[in-house]
Amino acid sequence: MTNPPRTRRASPSRAADDSARQRYFATLAMSRPDIALCRATKVVARAVDAELTGYSISAGQHLVLKMLSDVGPCSQQELSEQLRIDRSVMVGCIDGLEDSGLVRRERHPKDRRANAITLTPDGLLSLAEVESGVPRLLDRAFQALTPAERKTLARLVTKILEVK
């Protein structure tokens, strides 16, 4: 005689109602804005990654091109500090942009020990192409917010970032 097949019980955590979990995170976010910001950052990062899939640059590289376009040549250290990208990551970021012909390294005019990273004409064209997708990116990342709420969010996040 054979034993009947045993059915596996679902663990209590898997059997839990998903809406209860969603309510938990909503409640947690209200009392823990640090956790809410971390989770929101992941949502925005996914939207950025999805928007940049059609381009040949990463989100970090886009930020580098944008800063170089807006403020002119910068050292790798300046880019790393201002964009809050780790130095070791910045080296790879710049290497990739340089290999693609989007930036070039030149001797820094004020510091012989440093390089100035300069945007090339191809880099400017690539930036313009990526920037054309920014409105779609913002709509995707912040679709749950009204335009007024987006402005409020930007103002509040800027206020947080000004504290050192």
The predicted pLDDT at position 150 comes to 94
Give domain status of residue 142, yes or no.
Answer: yes
The predicted pLDDT at position 15 comes to 52
Give domain status of residue 56, yes or no.
Answer: yes
Q: Which domain holds residue 93?
A: 28-162
Give domain status of residue 22, yes or no.
Answer: no
Residue-wise pLDDT for 57-90, tens only, equals 888 899 999 999 999 999 999 999 999 899 999 9
Give domain status of residue 12, yes or no.
Answer: no
SS (H, E, C) the chain: CCCCCCCCCCCHHHHCCHHHHHHHHHHHHHHCHHHHHHHHHHHHHHHHHHHHCCCCCCHHHHHHHHHHHHHCCEEHHHHHHHHCCCHHHHHHHHHHHHHCCCEEEEECCCCCCCEEEEECHHHHHHHHHHHCCHHHHHHHHCCCCCHHHHHHHHHHHHHHHHCC
Residue-wise pLDDT for 20-42, tens only, equals 777 887 788 888 988 888 888 88
What whole-number percentage of the chain has pLDDT above 90?
Answer: 43
Give domain status of residue 144, yes or no.
Answer: yes
Q: What is the CATH number of the domain that holds 105?
A: 1.10.10.10
Give domain status of residue 11, yes or no.
Answer: no
Structural domain count, the chain: 1
The predicted pLDDT at position 152 comes to 95
Give domain status of residue 44, yes or no.
Answer: yes
Give domain status of residue 60, yes or no.
Answer: yes
The predicted pLDDT at position 56 comes to 84
Residue-wise pLDDT for 134-152, tens only, equals 888 888 889 889 999 999 9
The predicted pLDDT at position 164 comes to 56
159 against 112, higher pLDDT: 159
